[in-house]
């Protein structure tokens, strides 16, 4: 059975992608998946060679055809998004793609074509294959694109007989995060010892429980504030989530990123590298057992 580990954080900037890249470099027989399609960064470390690029068609957009328009104003009355201007031209950014204006226009003066709102890629990297994507700027439907890249990663894993998918998830708790969680074997939540890190970890833990996904916690930069790390461990414990790693604050992470390297490629002899290896082992052990467990690891 293929296992999928999804790395999320709630709060942005806690070190998801950096840690995910380091963990991925330790795993064998795996495919990497970047599900943070909104602001994808994993490729900056993995330097993928794109083998196949595909357009992503996420939805439709209304386009005004002035030569047919009788200016009756019906579209403006019906549009819930205030996307139709005084002159009946359509604000593509405000348009939700519901098609109500096009459907009811008596003159058929609104076209409603499918639009390409991003691209997704199958690539090779020095750590094996990777599926990733780039959502067009200011586009919607990132949830659908997340589902697409995960589906593709799973297809390739099945084809190549891999046992593991490691997915870099988006921040937050909304649509793209929900799309990155469904059907995952387990979630690794990367938190940080700040009041925001604690607050956001709690929300994302509740999200995992809502969808009954097993979850574990890693406290990144744990030594920046011992008191807050204690609080995070306490809260994680009270919510039944195992703390599987505590990673020190280390300038090596930023230096490695600047060089486009994983932590281990930059320096694999440090104390931090040892902690990340221990994290990897703990995660893999829990991942092994969580395949058979339907509800959360407690």
Q: Which residues bind another protein (CB under 8 A)?
A: 9-14, 17, 38-39, 41, 44, 59-60, 78, 80, 93-94, 96-100, 103-104, 135, 137-140, 142-143, 170-178, 193-196, 199-200, 203, 206-207, 210-211, 224-225, 227-228, 251, 254, 257-258, 260
Q: How far is the CB of 103 from another protein (least distance, A)?
A: 6
Three-class DSSP category at 133: strand
CA distance linking residue 289 with residue 273, whole number of Å: 25
Question: Which residue lies nearer to another protein by CB, 220 or 287?
Answer: 220
Question: Which residue lies nearer to another protein by CB, 83 or 287?
Answer: 83
Three-class DSSP category at 30: strand
Q: How far is the CB of 134 from another protein (least distance, A)?
A: 9
Contact 196, 11 (CB under 8 A): yes
Q: How far is the CB of 3 from another protein (least distance, A)?
A: 24
- The torsion region of residue 154 among left (phi > 0), alpha (psi -120 to 50) and beta comes to alpha
Q: What is the DSSP letter of 81?
A: T
Q: How far is the CB of 45 from another protein (least distance, A)?
A: 8
Question: Which residue lies nearer to another protein by CB, 48 or 171?
Answer: 171
Question: Which residue lies nearer to another protein by CB, 65 or 98?
Answer: 98
Question: Which residue lies nearer to another protein by CB, 10 or 128?
Answer: 10
Contact 158, 129 (CB under 8 A): no
Question: Which residue lies nearer to another protein by CB, 162 or 170?
Answer: 170
Number of other CB atoms surrounding residue 80 within 10 Å: 8
Question: Which residue lies nearer to another protein by CB, 22 or 287?
Answer: 22
Q: How far is the CB of 9 from another protein (least distance, A)?
A: 8
CA distance linking residue 260 with residue 179, whole number of Å: 28
Question: Which residue lies nearer to another protein by CB, 9 or 167?
Answer: 9
β-strands 164-168, 30-34 pairing? parallel
| Torsions phi, psi for 226 (to 5 deg) | -60, -40
Q: How far is the CB of 206 from another protein (least distance, A)?
A: 5
Longest dimension (CA), the chain: 73
Dihedral of alpha carbons 241, 213, 223, 25, sign: positive
Q: How far is the CB of 203 from another protein (least distance, A)?
A: 6
Q: How far is the CB of 43 from another protein (least distance, A)?
A: 9
CA distance linking residue 113 with residue 63, whole number of Å: 8
Contacts of 137 (CB under 8 A, 6+ apart): none
Three-class DSSP category at 226: helix
């Amino acid at each position: 059975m293929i296992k999928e580990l999804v790395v999320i954080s709630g709060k942005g900037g806690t070190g998801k992608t950096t840690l995910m890249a380091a963990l991925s470099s330790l795993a064998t027989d795996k495919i990497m998946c970047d599900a943070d399609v909104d602001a994808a960064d994993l490729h900056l470390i993995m330097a993928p060679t794109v083998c196949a690029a595909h357009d992503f068609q996420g939805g439709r957009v209304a386009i005004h055809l002035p030569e047919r328009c009788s200016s009756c104003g019906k579209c403006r009355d019906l549009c819930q998004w205030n996307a139709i201007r005084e002159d009946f031209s359509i604000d593509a950014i405000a348009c939700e793609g519901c098609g109500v204006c096009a459907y009811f226009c008596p003159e058929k003066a609104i076209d409603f074509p499918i639009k390409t709102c991003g691209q997704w890629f199958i690539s090779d990297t020095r750590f094996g294959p990777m599926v990733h994507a780039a959502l067009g700027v200011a586009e919607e439907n990132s949830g659908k694109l997340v589902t697409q890249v995960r589906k593709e990663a799973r297809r390739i894993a099945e084809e190549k007989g891999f046992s593991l998918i490691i997915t870099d998830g988006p921040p937050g708790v909304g649509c793209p995060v929900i799309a990155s969680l469904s059907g995952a074997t387990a979630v690794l939540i990367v938190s940080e010892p700040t009041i925001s890190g604690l607050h956001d970890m709690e929300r994302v833990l509740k999200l995992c429980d809502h969808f009954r996904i097993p979850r574990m916690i890693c406290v990144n930069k744990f030594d920046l504030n011992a008191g807050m790390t204690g609080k995070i461990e306490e809260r994680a414990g009270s919510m039944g989530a195992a703390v599987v790693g505590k990673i020190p604050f280390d300038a090596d992470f930023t230096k490695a990123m600047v060089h486009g390297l994983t932590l281990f490629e930059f320096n694999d002899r440090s104390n931090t590298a040892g902690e990340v290896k221990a994290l990897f082992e703990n995660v893999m052990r829990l991942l092994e057992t969580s395949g058979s467990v339907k509800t959360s690891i407690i």
